[in-house]
Copies of this chain bind each other. A is one copy, B any other.
Amino acid sequence: MGDNSFGTLFSFTSFGESHGPGIGCIVDGVPPRVPLSEEILQPYLDRRKPGQSRFVTQRREDDQVEILSGIFEGMTTGTPVAMLIRNKDQRSKDYSEISRQFRPGHADFTYQQKYGIRDYRGGGRSSARETAVRVAAGAIADQVLKAALGGAYRIRGGVVQIGPHQIDRSRLDWDETENNPFFCPDPVTAAEWESYLDEVRKTGSSAGAILEIVADGIPAGLGQPIYGKLDSDLAAAMMTINAVKGVEIGGGFALSALDGREAGDEMRAGANGPEFVSNNNGGVLGGISTGQQLVVRVAIKPTSSILTPRRSVDVDGKDVDVVTKGRHDPCVGIRGMPVAEAMMAVTILDALMRHRAQCGLLDS
C-alpha cells in the first residue's frame, strides 16, 4: 500500500502541497449506485475551510471540489472517484527566510533529513492543507454508510478541551457544536474559550485541544482481529492528522487508574437483546464493535507557528531565532475536528466492508 493511501477495501490516496497547483485524492472501492455530486460534498468541505472566524487561519480558499471521475448521471459507478481542489490563495511572498530555517515543532527539519529536499512554501506536503481532501473522502464514506446502515447511523464530534479548559460534561449537547466557532458541545465553555483564545492570540502564542468523535448506529461485529482491530485502525487514522499526539478509546488513559470492579462494562437483558450498563470501553471489545456508541478522543498539540521568537537552527546548522509570521490557526484543533470525523467515517466503512466480505459471505 502506498504511503499516501489510507484504508484497505474502501481507500483513498491523496496528493498535493500547500502552495502547489492543488490538492486532491482518488477514492477507491466506492460501492456503486450511491448518489454523489459536488453539491453533496461541498457542505462537508465548508465546515473545515479556512477564514470562517478570527480563531482560524485567514488564508482565503473556497475549497471548491471538482469530481474528475467515477460518477455517472449522479451516481457512483464503482470506479475510482478522483477529486481536485485547486489552490487559490498561495500568497506570493519572500521565502528566503523560511527556506533556510527550521521552525521549532514543525516538520521542516525532519522532511529535510528524510528527503534531502523539501518544498518549504507554506510547509509543503506537511501542511494541514492536505486535510481538505480527507474531508472529501470522508464525505463519500459518510454517504455510503448512510445508504448501508440507515437512519440510526451518525458520526458527530466536537472540541472538548482548548488549552487547559475542558467542557462541563453535564452540559454536553452535540447539537451545540454548530452554534459556535469552536465545534464546542457546551455553550458556556464556548464563551469562555472565546476570551481565552483572544488572549492567546494577543500574546503571540497558541493553544492545544482535545477532540471527541462519536459514532452511533454502528452494528456489533466490525473490526478484524488481531491486527485489523477497529480501535487500532481508528488510532492509526487519528494519528495521521497533523499535530495529533495522543488517541484514546472510551475511558482511555483514565481507565488505567480505575478499579477492576468498575472498569468492565456490565450487561443486562434488554427489550431488544443484551444492553450494556456502561461504556468505559467506548464501544469496542477485543478490537470489535459492541453495537454501542463508538467514542474516540484525540489530543492535539498547540500550533507550532507562533509570533513569539523561538530558538532554532538554520540549514547550515547555525543558531537562529525564528518568528513565524503568516496566517496560522491559533488552535489547529478546531479545524482538525471535521478531519477527525472524516477519518472516522472512512475507517468505519472500511471495517464494515471487510467484515461483510469475510463473515457475511455465506449469508448472501
Contacts and interface: CB of A to CB of B under 8 A. Distances in A.
A258 B301 contact: yes
A92 interface: no
Interface in A251-289: 251-253, 255-261, 263-269, 273-274, 277, 280-282, 284-289
A240 B227 contact: yes
A66 B84 CA distance: 13
Interface in A12-26: 13-17, 20-26
Q: Which of A17, A82, A207, A284 has the most CB of B within 10 A?
A: A82
Q: Interface residues of A toward B: which range?
A: 35 or more
Number of this chain's copies in the complex: 4
A179 to B, nearest CB: 23
Q: Which of A21, A114, A236, A300 has the most CB of B within 10 A?
A: A114
A245 B249 contact: yes
Interface string A1-20: 11111111101011111001
A118 to B, nearest CB: 6
Contact of A260 (B33, B229, B236, B302): B302
Interface string A194-207: 00000010011111
A13 B28 contact: yes
Contacts of A231: 239, 244-245
Interface stretch (A56-64, A168-176, A313-321): A313-321
A227 B80 CA distance: 12
B302 A68 contact: no
Nearest to A331: B260
A8 B358 CA distance: 11
A210 B268 CA distance: 30
Interface stretch (A42-50, A99-107, A182-190): A99-107
A37 interface: no
A79 interface: yes
Nearest to A17: B69
Given A281-B245, A362-B34, A79 B227 contact: no
A205 B252 CA distance: 19
Contacts of A244: 231
Contacts of A361: 31, 144, 148, 352-353, 356
19 contacts: A15-B69, A17-B70, A24-B68, A31-B359, A78-B114, A104-B264, A104-B267, A113-B290, A210-B253, A231-B245, A235-B236, A245-B248, A245-B282, A246-B249, A253-B253, A256-B300, A260-B304, A269-B313, A269-B319
Given A15-B26, A260-B303, 19 more contacts: A1-B8, A2-B7, A2-B11, A15-B68, A16-B82, A79-B125, A104-B265, A114-B221, A116-B359, A208-B256, A208-B257, A208-B258, A232-B237, A236-B236, A245-B248, A245-B253, A246-B252, A260-B308, A261-B306
